[in-house]
Chains A and B, each alone.
Chain A
Amino acid sequence: MSYITPEIQALVGVTGPVQTAPLPLGADTLRRFMQAVMDPNPVHYDEAAAKAAGFAGVVAPPLQPQHLFQRAPGSPDPFEKFKENADWDGMGGGGNTGLPKVELPLKRLLNGGYSCEFYQLAQVGDLISRQSRYKSITERESSSGPMVFINIETTYTNQNGATLMRVVQTTIAR
């Protein structure tokens, strides 16, 4: 029996809404990010170093735009969930692409990995948007049973419509 029903197959190629980050990339957000990832590259904090390297100003590292889609100011606090369920695992939030869900009777969802292509870096002050689509949904038999591979491609753009990167995330359902 295949888990990939005609309804699931029809999701391939389906595109989600364009989502725009709640705020432009701030210098302080970038500072905290660089310190947490422990990357000392001065193009990420020093204007002169960034310009010497050919950028118009301080830039973010390639994958940082992935983390700019956090909770908007004024939106509900996800930690309210703890009142209903003290065992809530804390997941959700910035990863919601707005795509329709793939309904599978498989319990475990694993982040299989990423495939990324970079064209330019986000600059401090940029307002980043993204849009996702189902690139492929395939099934494979493994020693522990069937596994479904869901590939979602997300394209990130800046406020001028320039494409910064494309990221394909593989989610494995088993």
Chain B
Amino acid sequence: MTQDIVKPLVFEDLVVGQEVHTLVRGPITTSHLMRWSAAIENWHRIHYDHPFATGHDKLPGLLVNGTWKQHFLVQMMREFLGPTGWLWKIDFSFRKMDVAGSTLTAWAKVTDLQVRDGLGYVTCEIGIRNQDGQESTPGSATGVVALKGGKPVPYPFVPPHD
């Protein structure tokens, strides 16, 4: 698989409002869904049994698993934060279905930047849009990165005291 090319993140260069990272996967075929369902042993037939999904459950097609989409968002944020950053928090809502055949883009836009205890905290609006620009999984995420010349992010991560 092609490695996604990622520029190293410099906290001091980030600007609120900036779309900072995208990750594209797709088209997500029935084979992708079968591989995912088998890997996590999710046997819900709406993800791999087309007659069941469309006939019994009256869905528009086979559904891309919510569990796949959540890892897709996590992967996108971790790519953005880089190998020395830490994804601290993420939340998202499953608002719309994505069906097999879709090409999906996970994206992040900076909404807040803070320096606390010598570390940079970057909060983003996140989501997944399909090839038609329809958003299915809106949410937000906060990552922690080192400042230029600053101390590294501790591991295991200890959240700041409010």
Contact = CB atoms under 8 A, between A and B. Distances in A.
B16 to A, nearest CB: 22
Interface stretch (A11-19, A96-104, A106-114, A135-143): A106-114
A118 B157 contact: yes
Interface in A86-142: 87, 89-91, 93-94, 110-120
B78 interface: yes
Please classify how large the interface on chain B is, using the bins under 10, 10 to 19, 20 to 34, 35 or more: 35 or more
B35 interface: yes
Q: Lowest 7 A-B CB distances belong to which pairs?
A: A113-B93, A115-B91, A36-B39, A120-B156, A90-B43, A67-B40, A90-B45
A117 B159 contact: yes
21 contacts: A35-B35, A35-B39, A36-B32, A36-B39, A37-B75, A41-B79, A53-B83, A54-B84, A62-B87, A63-B70, A63-B71, A67-B39, A67-B40, A70-B41, A91-B43, A113-B137, A113-B139, A115-B91, A118-B88, A118-B89, A120-B155
B41 A93 contact: yes
A38 interface: yes
A62 B1 contact: no
B27 to A, nearest CB: 13
A113 B75 contact: no
A118 B43 contact: no
Nearest to B34: A36
Nearest to B40: A67
Contacts of B87: 62, 118
B41 A71 contact: yes
Interface of A: 32-33, 35-41, 43, 53-55, 61-64, 66-67, 70-71, 78-79, 87, 89-91, 93-94, 110-120, 162, 170
A44 B12 CA distance: 29
A16 to B, nearest CB: 20
Interface string B76-107: 00110001101111111110000000000000
Contacts of B92: 113-114
Given A71-B41, A89-B45, A117 B89 contact: yes
B162 interface: no
A39 B78 CA distance: 10
A64 B75 CA distance: 12
A78 B43 contact: yes
A117 B1 contact: no
Given A36-B36, A36-B40, A40-B1, A112 B94 contact: yes
